[in-house]
Chains A and B, each alone.
Chain A
Amino acid sequence: MKTVTFDSPTQGTISYTDKKRGLWWMSALYPLFPITGLVLHGLTGIELMLLVPMVAAYICVPLFDYLLGEDLSNPPEEVVAQLEQDRYYSRLLYLAVPLHFITFFAAVYWIVTQDLSMAGYLILAVGAGMTSGLGINTGHELGHKTDPLSRLMAKIVLAVPGYGHFCLEHNAGHHRHVATPEDTASSKMGENIYAFALREIPGGFKRAWQLEKVRLQRKGKSMWSPSNELLQSYAITAVIQISLLIAFGWMLLPFLIIHNFLAWWQLTSANYIEHYGLLREKKANGSYERCQPHHSWNSNHVFSNLLLYHLERHSDHHAHPTRHVPALRNFEDVPALPNGYFGAYLMAYCPPIWFAVMNPRLLNLQHIQGDLSKVNILPGKREAMEQKYASLVAA
């Protein structure tokens, strides 16, 4: 366990030990966990064992989040620069990149070598896709770094599920426009996750291509030049997935389609819960106020944060996107999810439950206090929301 110290001219020596330092390995190794399903299936012959990763993600993780609770601690600001210079955290991210490929190819191996029923095939494809959704989270962390190696690693890991446009869309699109009606990756009050997916997935793709087109035009290059960073990542996807189809035939096509879609769906799920209904105020000149911590739903649940590189400390992440994993802070009085992300996903997949839990929570936020003009609300839903939540809506 390492202690960082800072010699302050006014406060003396400030020491800080990241107690979770050794536990961040969980984020790096979690992508390998689905292989336990393959091993258990191999040992027992019971196909349902392939469900183990999903049971762990959607039952065990929310339960552990509930039981272990939250970690509200923050590192002293004085040592943040040192934490961010510590290469240990970056190395964990780099390590995760090949692990995503290992799990993906292990799932492919299992599909082509085992005599699976249709149910077993589907379960394995869904589980592999969820794992590659975690890969988008790995790519997310790497994509926020500014050094060329991290950016390259992001492109590579995002190639597993064919989501190479994510970094550009996320950084220059979503972060810039978050918590506004114009952002296709910010969900609106009254919008269920399935309707959101139909807006978010094509919207993100379209925005990324538009952004890349403008960037390449500034450089005097064609959209189809090798400098197109979206095409670079898609090319890796194409080589891998077309090679697999050539090698193993059409039996792999449904697997690849389900795998890719489930990975995208994981990202959609995260985007849905991260900014639901939150709205940045529009200034007199038509621009929006800068993103503040209260423009994201936050979660300090310790267990799922350790599986997701602190992604759930989303309030600080959006207010200050270049802060590194160990430096992300908790803030008081920011919008708080009732469980970690995996528990929140479960709620989101059942819209009546999501709305019942989150709409009152949204309206009761300190900066909203029932004022629907401060909510990013689905057009046409305002009247219905006023009637349904009459006791919470400000007159």
Chain B
Amino acid sequence: MKKYQCPDCSYIYDEAVGHEHEGYEPGTRFEDLPEDFACPACFVREKEDFVPLESDSITSDCAKNKNSVVRSLKK
């Protein structure tokens, strides 16, 4: 099972999970998604834009910010 990431909003389509709300069962392969598939989070990137992930790595700058750096929130 592979994962593919939206290059705009970082949504990840995980073949093992599918997308229940949009009607894609767990196990639905990315290549079996319809050609007019759009990112179900931002809707401004389409199937051809999605980036395959080699592992669990997340590629966008936005996601890097979210996951990899120490941060603080103070008054």
Q: Give me the interface of A with B, judged by CB distance under 8 Å.
A: 1-9, 77-82, 85-86, 146, 171-172, 175-176, 215-219, 287, 290-291, 318-322
Nearest CB on B from A179, distance (A): 11
Give A85 to B69 CA distance when docked, in angstroms. 14
B51 at the interface (CB under 8 A from A): no
Give A319 to B9 CA distance when docked, in angstroms. 10
Contact of A2 among B24, B61, B74 (CB under 8 A): B74
Query: With A7-B71, A176-B43, A218-B22 given, is the CB distance from A320 to B9 under 8 Å?
Result: yes
Contact of A81 among B11, B62, B74 (CB under 8 A): B62
Give A2 to B73 CA distance when docked, in angstroms. 8
Contact between B43 and A5, CB atoms less than 8 A apart: no
Contact between B42 and A218, CB atoms less than 8 A apart: no
Q: Give 7 nearest A-B pairs by CB, closest first.
A: A218-B23, A219-B23, A81-B65, A322-B9, A81-B66, A175-B43, A321-B42
Chain A residue nearest to B73 in the complex (CB): A4
Contact of B70 among A3, A7, A86 (CB under 8 A): A7
A215 neighbours in B (Cβ, 8 Å): 22-23
Q: Give me the interface of B with A, judged by CB distance under 8 Å.
A: 8-9, 11, 22-24, 38, 41-46, 49, 61-62, 65-66, 69-75
Query: With A80-B62, A172-B38, A218-B23 given, is the CB distance from A6 to B9 under 8 Å?
Result: no
Query: With A215-B22, A320-B8 given, is the CB distance from A290 to B45 under 8 Å?
Result: yes
Contact of A77 among B41, B61, B70 (CB under 8 A): B61
Nearest CB on A from B27, distance (A): 14
Give A8 to B9 CA distance when docked, in angstroms. 22
Contact between B74 and A5, CB atoms less than 8 A apart: yes
B24 neighbours in A (Cβ, 8 Å): 218
Contact between B72 and A5, CB atoms less than 8 A apart: yes
Give A85 to B11 CA distance when docked, in angstroms. 16
B22 neighbours in A (Cβ, 8 Å): 215, 218
Contact of A6 among B11, B23, B46, B71 (CB under 8 A): B71
* Residue with the highest number of chain A CB atoms closer than 10 Å, among B24, B66, B73: B73
B65 neighbours in A (Cβ, 8 Å): 6, 77-78, 80-81
* Residue with the highest number of chain A CB atoms closer than 10 Å, among B42, B46, B66: B42
B11 neighbours in A (Cβ, 8 Å): 146
Give A1 to B75 CA distance when docked, in angstroms. 7
B44 neighbours in A (Cβ, 8 Å): 175-176, 290-291, 318-321
Nearest CB on A from B19, distance (A): 10
Give A7 to B9 CA distance when docked, in angstroms. 23
Nearest CB on A from B12, distance (A): 12
* 8 CB < 8 A contacts A-B: A77-B65, A78-B65, A81-B71, A85-B66, A215-B22, A215-B23, A321-B43, A321-B44
Query: With A175-B44, A321-B43 given, is the CB distance from A82 to B71 under 8 Å?
Result: yes
Give A175 to B8 CA distance when docked, in angstroms. 13
Contact between A7 and B69, CB atoms less than 8 A apart: yes
B72 neighbours in A (Cβ, 8 Å): 4-5, 7
Contact between B43 and A172, CB atoms less than 8 A apart: yes
> In the complex, given contacts A6-B65, A79-B71, A172-B38, what are 4 additional A-B residue pairs having Cβ atoms less than 8 angstroms apart?
A82-B71, A217-B23, A218-B22, A322-B9
